[in-house]
Structure 1
Amino acid sequence: MSLWNNIKRYSIYRKLLVSYLLLVLLSILLISAFLYQRFSYQAEAEINRVTLTTLDQLDQATRSIQDRVISVGSELLHEPDLIAAMLSDSTSPLLENEVVIKLRNIQAVYPFIEYISVYNSNTGRYLNHRGITKAIDGELIGRIENGGNGAYMEFVPRRLDLTPLGTPMDPIPILSYVLYSNFSNLIPKSGAIIIHVNEEKAIGELTRSLAASTGNEWMVLDGRGMVISHSDPSQFLNNLSNESFVKTILASPQSEQGHFTESSGGDKQLINFSKSAKTGWILIGKRPYEQLFLGLDGRQTIIWAATLILTIIGVLLAFRLASRMFRPYSAFQNQQTLLEASWKRAYPLLQESYLRKLLTGQKSGGATETNLFEWPSGEECRYCVIVAQIDDYRQFLARSNKDRELIRFAIRNIADELMKPYGTFRTLEVENDHLVILVRFGESKPAEHFLLTLIELQQTVRQYFRMTVTLGIGDVVHAEEAIKDSYHSAHGYLKYRLFVGHGSIIDRDSIASQIGKGGDYPAKMEDSLIDAIKLGHKKEADMEIDRFLEAIRPLDYKYAFVFANQLVISVHKQFVNILSFEDGDYETHGSLLYSFSEFETLNEIGAALKPLCATVIDRIEEKRGNRNLEMIESVLQLIRSHYNDPNLSLEWAADRMHYSSGHLSKLFKQATHQSFNDYVNAIRLNEAVRLLRQTNDSAAVISEKVGLGSTYFFTLFKKTYGMTPAQFRLTPLPEETPPEKQA
């Protein structure tokens, strides 16, 4: 009250009050403006730093794609079969089959690769394990035949439409890398190796996950402004070069990082970009500027109004200003929390990527990657890779996609649950037909209880899914860099499933006696099988097949597989003209030849080969029966035309037909149900009866006309008709049945 009275009374107080109010107002204005500008700058700088870090991670992912493509291309050039298939002037189904198998095995290690193709310009053959035809990849074939304009590698983004193959699904975004002859002098001038990368698995998952966590747009463009990857999958292959922000980025220097703001449709956007010097791609993050500060710019009027209120009640105004200034920082913390949550979700994917690097020997050795598994360091450790391969994979593929995915997921969960007592392990679904388990332990080899755990894994899968898995235990190694050796050895041991069958556990010790064991091809057993087929002995043919497979069972996998394949080809070459088009024999046998590499055990090979041999035997018997009928008809015609020849005999007829007398006698009796002599005598007696009825010739003359001696004629006639020829001539018979028809 005294202050109020002093203001009324003294002008100095009035001036002081006015001066105070002006000073407070000016101070508040300056402080507010300074704090506002300072916070805006720091918040924007921090957000730019976080965004550029994210772009660096995205750039690292894009660069790793090209590095892996070059690595895979180099690995392919070390495959002699593949080089032979590319340089060959003629087609070889066996060689192409081996190439397709190797392409499938290589692709199995890199899940981001959709498929790998090889083009041989000499033969025009386009090989890949997915069955993609030249018509589907016609654009790439055209580029290859044009020579690629002297480049060693060409990048072609495209959409892969699998509708012509009968696969009803949306086109797949594909990043195709074409490796020309400049990449290696082993590649023919107009041939190429094409590695097709699945954009969704390679980059798309990362860009989509970033967009899901931040609500912003993330994209990867090539040097012309075409979308290679986008947080919105529908933007794939769209040309954004006409967008103003893209024009600004394209005009900037190479290998530059930066940010700028742009107004589009009345909305202010913050654009962050990074140009990759290695790939030439542009990585862009785009977000609404207003969302960065939660609308602080739009509330400046409120802030200025608050500064006026501070002239009356400075404390309340300061509190209000502090509270208002706190909100943008709180929003930034929320965004940071979302980014950390996104990182945590992406962390398992990074672990899987690192494990794939270990399996393929592509580990970079960086400190960040070394700690991805969070395994304790400073102690001696050993590593072992176990590969769990699904048995009867062709039957497994007959299940629905949903069931297959569920079973793979369940098998991995079962493995995770059973491996928990061992602490340090990782599981990874490398390919659709097998799962990888990486175990770290301290012993020199897996303990007995560890093997019991693997048996429990097999039993659990068999119990719940009525199917089996075969486990290959790789060699124990002492360093992460050697994990790839353990993985490759486990894969090699799994091939011996051909001998031990499904549901087995295979390691080096169990097949040590077979590794590298060669032998001669069982040619005698093959000859015995061919002879059994020719003789029509099905049981003996089945036994010979079993003997052949048992003979190659102790050998090394490569020898056994080649020998079994050679047996199938030998049967095909020997009896290819026996099989019938009308009965579908060629289709059945062709499927056996082309699906031979899919057989998992020797028993399966035998089960497929035995029906083929039985079919060949049936066809031989059919043709042999037809030839016998034709031959017997010729013999009957010979008898009818030479019945009056006294020299007509079985031996005489066999000599004319080029048969042995015993074999002809057997075939004749099977066809006519009479012996050769009985049939000839019946023909002669039938002619004698006709002559007795229609002529006046004596019985002796008639016997000579029908080729019988008179004495034998009288005896045979009386035995057949119960009377002599003279009595027969005098006996009227209303109907006479020829003797051969009576027989």
Structure 2
Amino acid sequence: MPMNRLRRNGTLYIRLLLGITISIALTLIVASSTYYFSYTRVLLKETYETDLGNLKMTSQTVEGTTEIAQSLSFQIYQNSTVAKLLFYNEADPFEVQGAMLEMKNYMASMPFIQSIYVYNPAVGFYVVSNEGETGLFTEAELIDRNILDVLDHFQDYKPFTPIPRTFKIDAADEKETGIYSYLCYDAIGFDRAINSAVIVNLSAAWINREIRDGFNGKPSETYIVDDRGKVLSSELEPQRWEPREDALLERLENSHDDGYVVADFKGTKSLVSYTSPDELNWQYLKVMPYRYITEKTNDVRQLSIRIAAGILIGGLLLSWLLSKMLYVPIQRIVTRMNDLESEQRNASYAVRQNALRKLIQLQPFDPVAKLEKLRRTGISFDFTKDYRLVYIRIDRFAELKEQSSRDLLIYKFAVMNISSEVCSKYYRVEAVDLDDDDSLLLLMNALEPDETDRPEWLVPMLEQIQKASREYLRIGLTIGVGQISNKPHELHASFKQVKDASLQRFFRGRESIIETFGIVQPEEAFVFPAAKEKRMIDCLLSGKVEEATKCFRDILEETSTYPIQATESAVSHIRVSLNNILSEVQKNGNMQLGVGSDFLLPEFGSQETAEELVEAYSIFFNDLKTRLTDKRSNKQEDLIRKINELIEANFPDPNLSLNWIADRLDMSTFHISRVYRQHTLTPIVDIINQLRLGKATELLMISDKPIAEIAIMTGYTNSSYFHRMFKKNYGVTPAEFRKSKANHASPM
């Protein structure tokens, strides 16, 4: 207890200091974020109000100059001196000079007037300008071509409203200058054509000076939407926008109030300030990139974050230094105590595991003394009461070992924990990590108070263990389940039974639940099927891989109803036979197949299921066929193939023999006998007899034909000779063979 109190006090100061430091840092971050968003809104509002004031001032300036320009236009139109230019086709030069001087006086009285045109269709344009052309110009000579289009379509413009447009001051200029034109005209006549006109052009640069500068000197763009919906820049240049900007424009045009919106404009997040339609039904828009508005707030936010990070780092460093200075002795005690606790836990776990392993291996033992020893170790398993053993094998363990060799103990410990947790609802459980790589054992007693083992709980409980292992560990489990017992001396035998039951995974497949009381052992001992093995080897050496694989599968199937040791013994027998035969093939054929070095036969324990072992042997057989084919000459291989084809096609012919085959192939009997025996290690006569007897066994099993008839069908003219050869190869007569196969189906 004092040690625990000391440990808690040792970390209390660190926790308080870290908590305060982190709280201060978080407070700074939250406060700066709140300040950032609030200040951003204030800046947006301030920028909008500044922009709106400039836009409104420009609108008022345009409206004010409109009245001035209209008044000036009427004065010029009504001036008797200027009127001579409007209506006389041939004016006196002195009168023209006087009228031009009058117009210059009008222009000098107002600095924002860029030029004045007096238009007489019969003569042309009388022009007075601060910049550019001045004098009398015909329509063809006039540089300002845009005014001609305005006069041709004067009905498209509202009367007494400014016409925003651009023109070239000089023909050599590339850039056009923006002006507001005010048109005062006379259009009396049948064709409604202009008879005369006075055009006053005001400088757009002078009128729009308030909207050309951004907020606090930051760059921005200003646009004017005239009464015809045409979008112009502050220099009155027509604008073409993308559909996204057009949608924004439509949204603003539908608004009847001043306002602003934050939106993407030409791919940049921007503040768009806009006015409501003025008396001319014009609207003004100012667009400023958002980043210019929030520059100051971004600096404040970054500064706050840096300060918070500095406080946090400083606090952590201070916490570490103070804890190191003040709590070094305490830390040493705590570390030593943790080490002692860990050693105690590990030692206790190792002692319990060793005790349980010895328990299932001992036979016989003193139950009373052993039970007392287990209780002193902290083991609750009681073999004097009803108990049950469950043997767990981890499926695909070889793959797991290859992928996560360092984590195998963790996986096994996790399976033990899952099993103990699931079974604890129904049993008192002790889990044992066995010496075998993939194996675990559960020793279970029924729970108190009734201590009743209910079999109906068992399979669902084990399936729950399998499901949890799949979901959380991604591994499958095969489980062998023992019978209930309460006899101590049966403990070791029960262990062997559940272990053997788990090995039945070979035939039943992975993630099976195999109960020992569900396995029926045959009374007679297993007899190895030598004939099938011989047939397998013959097919293999003849290149019939599929038939050889089928023979191997059949041999495994015959062992499925016997203890798994019978299967292991059968596979070992096959491996020895194949190794001997292949060694003889290498020796007699003077060829190296690599058997025993890089070319190895699969062992029984190399695969977890029968199908996988059959597949492994099928791969080996195919590889062997490839190697044999590569080693043998094509000519001799072709000869062997022809001989086999003749035997296969003519086995019912009683004349089929070595001489008959030699005559058909037009070759000597000595040559074909030597080549065939060298490559197959079997005389041709034996092959003929094996094929005939094989066909005979098939007919005996699938038909009711008389044995004498079957002998003739398979090439034997003498029934006695057929009986003698059949018994020599199979150990029974044909009649006994037919009877045994009818009474006993081949097991799987």
Q: Which has the higher contact order (CA 8 A, sep 6+)?
A: 2
Q: Given the two structures, how large is their TM-score scaled by the length of structure 1?
A: 0.36
Compare CA radii of gyration and give the structure with the larger one.
Answer: 2
